[in-house]
Chain A
Amino acid sequence: MAFFVFINQFLRDMRSQKLRTLLTLFGIIWGTVAVTLLLAFGEGLHNQQIKDMHGLGDRIILLWSGATSIPYQGLGKGREINFKEEDAFLLQKEIKEIGQISPEYSEGNIQIKYGKNVFTQRVTGVYPVYKDLRNMIPENRGRFINELDIKERKRVVFLGDKLKNDLFKENNALGEYILINNTPFLVVGVMIKKEQNSNYSDRDAYKAVIPATTLAVMFGRRNIDNMVIKPNVPKQNEYVINRVYEVLGKKYKFDPKDKEALLIWDTAEFDKFINLLFMGMRVFLGIIGAFTLIVGGIGVSNIMNVVIEERTREIGIKMATGAKRRYILSQFVFETLLITFIGGAIGFLISWGMTAVFPLFKLEEYVGNPVFSSSVAVIAALILGLIGFLAGFFPARRAASLNPIEALRL
């Protein structure tokens, strides 16, 4: 009974003290939103970087041929190495840790034509596994190059999304014929738009992909440009690279230790780098977040202290008219809890709302989309509330333990 009378009175006191209640509330909301958004955007940026990275392919190894730099078995240095398509199959056979491998032919400055639209872009000749290696996913109803295309050297083409837009605008491309160097090719698929922040020739969005066998014949190619390799398990990248040197070294007679005979780009290395970078960034954001919390906490405690000062007199009046110590203290605890809860909830909703609305600004490509973490919001609000509580509790307890007349005199 008395309990509800008290709660009612607490609420009434808070309502009549709008300014100080609002100030404390604002401190908690501000701190919660600042910390939550800080970490949310950090996380979003990280995810975006990882996603961009995987636009090239998820932890793939890219392999080009180079020239020897160490004399080996009576052969001089500076000898150029050239790969053939079958080298890819040799590697696949010899190294069981390789999950997927595709040879790649590449021809730049090729005229691509549809109706009156003419563009000069790069044409790539690959095998079907290239689709998974390089995350080239076909849009609805389309498909990538398949085994039959390879076997029969079909004139089919898979278009990058931007190239498709250049040629066809919004119109359907599937089933249409385009001219590549004046040879007609059937469009069998268009790539789904993907994020990509690194590449080794041109962006996939602008490429035309055709069967490796078709390209070899069409351009009279005997040597491939490069290979794309993906080990079964990401951790095996280094081992696979060493084995590639051994197998190809044996075939082309170069020293497996001759690093320049092959040119390797291990994208997993870059993943490691990105992860390290973002670990650093997280620590940095964590420190900023901690400072934000401290500053916010100081703000909240200052308000609490002002409140306590002006409240000491109220406490004196209340005690003089018969309030017990526990009433004074429970009022303080109740207020802090309620303000923390409401402020935390509002801060939570604001942060959540902002992270939810952010994608509408379409800035994902540049800064990623923030990732809202409810535990961060809750913890930030709790820490702020706790700081405010500690700052206010001891003065309140001191005031409550005084004789009423002393509290009135303060």
Chain B
Amino acid sequence: MIEMKNIKKIYTIGEMRVEALRGIDLDIKKNEFISIMGPSGSGKSTLMNLLGCLDTPTEGEYLLEGERVANLHHNRLAEIRNQKIGFVFQSFNLLPYATAFENVEIPLIFRGTASRMRKQKAEELLEKVGLKDRMNHKPTELSGGEMQRVSIARALVNDPSIILADEPTGNLDSISGGEIIEVFVDLWKQGHTIAVITHDKDIAVRTQKIVKLKDGRVVDGGSSL
């Protein structure tokens, strides 16, 4: 479903060139649950952002469900982010002034979904992550674990092809972190495709496949467990 060939990402800051990714090959199949590990600065987030079409590679080929992503028009990229990708950030990235319900509703709005459908969908997903009774709370009134559930609900609301999570438990204590992982495992069992970045071995072992990065390269690409 996802194919990356020789993907490179080079950041230039003034005179400095940082080669964050030096040629990545990566395949993710439908209904796969993979984890990406590696030391800090190895390029995990950079790779994840490219997978999520939040950023564009300097070089290389990226096929998402057969669609060549490089050089797509920005409107099409927005549609892909909206409908094919569900992104979960370490720092949640919720709109601070909007309620949990409104945050989950946002991708539906960009899709142009009618309000009754939006209400139904958003409520259904908040229920799925166990937050139905909290849906009128703003992010500041929620715990870290709850905020992350809201952002998972938001990621799921448009039935994306893949869920991408960049250290989803990084800002959470181990208990709420563990609960979040269970949410991902459940989703995988329901048929979702998931890629998650983590530093935590205990989390990684719950996934089907661990991809290890070092210095912008894949050093171990798929020791299926």
Contacts and interface: CB of A to CB of B under 8 A. Distances in A.
Interface stretch (A45-53, A143-151, A159-167, A319-327): A319-327
A16 B98 contact: yes
Given A319-B81, A404-B81, A325 B95 contact: no
Contacts of B148: none
Nearest to A327: B110
A321 to B, nearest CB: 5
Contacts, number: 72
A322 B83 contact: yes
B56 interface: yes
Given A405-B54, A405-B55, A324 B78 contact: yes
Contacts of B79: 322, 324
Nearest to A404: B54
B102 to A, nearest CB: 7
Give the interface size bracket for A toward B: 20 to 34
B55 A16 contact: no
A8 B110 CA distance: 12
Interface in B110-138: 110-115
Given A17-B97, A403-B55, A408-B93, A322 B110 contact: yes
B107 interface: yes
A410 interface: no
Nearest to B102: A12
A173 B79 CA distance: 88
B94 interface: yes
B82 interface: yes
Interface residues of B, number: 30
A327 B78 CA distance: 11
B109 to A, nearest CB: 5
Contact of B81 (A9, A322, A327): A322
Contacts of B83: 322
Contacts of A320: 52, 54, 81, 87, 93
B78 A6 contact: no
Contacts of B111: 322
B74 interface: yes
A281 to B, nearest CB: 48
Nearest to A3: B112
Interface string A316-352: 1111111111110000000000000000000000000
A5 B116 CA distance: 11
A33 to B, nearest CB: 29
Contacts of A217: none
A359 to B, nearest CB: 45
A404 B102 CA distance: 20
Contacts of A317: 93-95
Contacts of B110: 318, 321-324, 327
B109 A6 contact: yes
Nearest to A323: B110
A110 B52 CA distance: 102
A372 to B, nearest CB: 38
Given A318-B110, A322-B78, A403 B54 contact: yes
Contact of A314 (B75, B87, B95, B154): B95
Nearest to B112: A2
Interface string A371-406: 000000000000000000000000000000001111
B141 to A, nearest CB: 14
A5 B106 contact: no
A240 to B, nearest CB: 75
A336 B58 CA distance: 37
A51 B113 CA distance: 65
Given A1-B112, A404-B54, A405-B55, A321 B74 contact: no
B81 to A, nearest CB: 5
A317 B81 CA distance: 11
Contacts of B98: 16
Q: Count chain B CB atoms within 10 A of each CB in A316, A317, A327, A408 and give the residue with the most.
A: A317
B176 interface: no
When A and B form their complex, which 3 residue pairs have the shortest distance between CB atoms, in order from nearest?
Answer: A322-B82, A2-B112, A16-B97
Interface of B: 49, 52, 54-56, 74-75, 78-79, 81-83, 87, 93-95, 97-98, 102, 106-107, 109-115, 154, 158
Interface of A: 1-2, 5-6, 8-9, 12-13, 16-17, 314, 316-327, 403-406, 408
25 contacts: A5-B114, A12-B102, A317-B94, A318-B95, A318-B106, A319-B78, A320-B93, A321-B87, A321-B106, A321-B110, A321-B154, A322-B78, A322-B83, A322-B110, A322-B111, A322-B158, A323-B82, A324-B75, A324-B110, A326-B75, A327-B110, A404-B54, A404-B55, A405-B55, A408-B54
Given A317-B95, A318-B106, A324-B79, 17 more contacts: A2-B112, A6-B109, A12-B102, A316-B93, A320-B93, A321-B82, A321-B106, A321-B107, A322-B82, A322-B83, A322-B111, A323-B78, A323-B110, A324-B75, A325-B78, A326-B75, A406-B55
